């Protein structure tokens, strides 16, 4: 097990924030994870698992053992009836897994194409896009208990999935290190085209190509590239705030003032489009020093170069304050802060 001391993490987080870890270890297998846990305990330091770094904000240097997840491997576990069970190591790139499942004629992930990050991070966040969430195709995962080093299996009910939420962000935060994920996918394509923008683009492209999961995936990639900046070109962590949930009465009050309010039902409550709120508050495309909101998507905070974690956090708090003052709605940060 190779251990780096005072390791720079600038290239390990998509916001490009200057950060150093007291220790950095790369985990390529289960035993690496176990050894890293023992090492962290010996040094009396917390252990921080890190995937692609696409959903974290480093507020400063980390006096911790950072475990870079690199457990690889993809396989078809079984094909039963209408479903195919696939398994992936936590260190695999998420988008690569999506495209691989389509090549195996296993469907259900096409709407989740081009979401940055690794497979192990997907259930923590319960990633979602265009009407599909990870929980919709989740089968199970394996994780290492940080106290005992034992391997624990979690099924869907165990994970407590909710909107951008799971027990791994809540009651079991920092208790487990996810090492593998299983997904229950469909052998027959059932397109999920609930979003009008996506449906229109798919229908237009399908005039010249047969409708397929690959076509849907391609369109999702096109739409994401149009709306979201490439972290390799402009540092960011994608959507910085969750879409806030409010009551139906709050929606009615806001619609009376803002007829163009973007809101959609979520069970007994409603979700507001956080990007619309930020845009309407006059904060789309603004910049404060090295930090700003993206000119095409107000929900995305970007590092124009040279920003620190504190710069990003201060800017995000200013956005929250402006939106709350105007709409009476409190935004919640999506990425985790260390």
195 vs 205: CA distance, rounded Å: 16
Neighbouring C-beta atoms of residue 289, cutoff 10 Å: 12
Cβ atoms of residues 55 and 117 within 8 Å: yes
232 burial level (CB within 10 Å; 0-12, 13-18, 19+) = exposed
| Token pair in block for residue 119 | 């497979």
| Token pair in block for residue 298 | 């107000």
DSSP H or E run through 220? helix 213-227
216 vs 132: CA distance, rounded Å: 13
3-state secondary structure of 36: helix
236 burial level (CB within 10 Å; 0-12, 13-18, 19+) = buried
Cβ atoms of residues 251 and 266 within 8 Å: no
Sequence-separated (6 or more) residues with CB below 8 Å from residue 337:
56, 57, 59, 309, 313
Closest to 294 (Cα-Cα) out of 222, 223, 235: 235
Q: List residues with catalytic annotation.
A: 164, 239, 334
Dmax (CA) for the chain in angstroms is: 62
């Amino acid at each position: 097990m190779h251990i780096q001391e005072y390791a720079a993490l600038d290239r390990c987080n998509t916001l490009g924030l200057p950060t150093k870890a007291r220790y950095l270890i790369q985990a390529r297998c289960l035993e690496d994870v176990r050894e890293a846990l023992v090492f962290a305990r010996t040094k009396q330091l917390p252990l921080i698992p890190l995937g692609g770094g696409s959903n974290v904000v480093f507020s400063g240097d980390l006096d911790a053992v950072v475990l870079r997840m690199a457990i690889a491997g993809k396989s078809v576990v079984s094909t039963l009836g209408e479903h195919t069970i696939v398994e992936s190591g936590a260190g695999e790139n998420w988008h690569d897994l999506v495209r691989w499942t389509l090549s195996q004629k296993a469907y259900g992930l096409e709407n989740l194409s081009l979401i940055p990050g690794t497979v192990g991070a997907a259930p923590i966040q319960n990633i979602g896009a265009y009407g599909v969430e990870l929980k919709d195709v989740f089968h199970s995962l394996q994780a290492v208990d940080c106290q005992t080093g034992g391997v624990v299996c979690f099924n869907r009910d165990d994970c407590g999935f909710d909107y951008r939420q799971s027990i791994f962000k809540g009651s079991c935060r920092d208790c487990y290190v996810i090492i593998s994920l299983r997904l229950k996918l469909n052998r027959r394509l059932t397109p999920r085209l609930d979003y009008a923008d996506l449906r229109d683009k798919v229908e237009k492209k399908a005039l010249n190509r047969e409708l397929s999961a690959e076509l849907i995936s391609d369109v999702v990639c096109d739409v994401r590239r149009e709306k979201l900046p490439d972290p390799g070109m402009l540092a960011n962590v994608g959507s910085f705030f969750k879409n806030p949930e409010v009551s139906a009465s709050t929606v009615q009050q806001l619609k009376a003032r803002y007829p163009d309010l973007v809101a959609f039902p979520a069970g007994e409550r409603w979700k507001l489009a956080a990007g619309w709120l930020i845009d309407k508050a006059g904060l789309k495309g603004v910049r404060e020093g090295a930090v700003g909101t993206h000119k095409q998507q107000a929900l995305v905070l970007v590092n124009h170069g040279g920003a620190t974690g504190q710069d990003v956090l201060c800017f995000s708090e200013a956005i929250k304050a402006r939106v709350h003052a105007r709409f009476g709605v409190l935004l919640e940060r999506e990425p985790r802060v260390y």
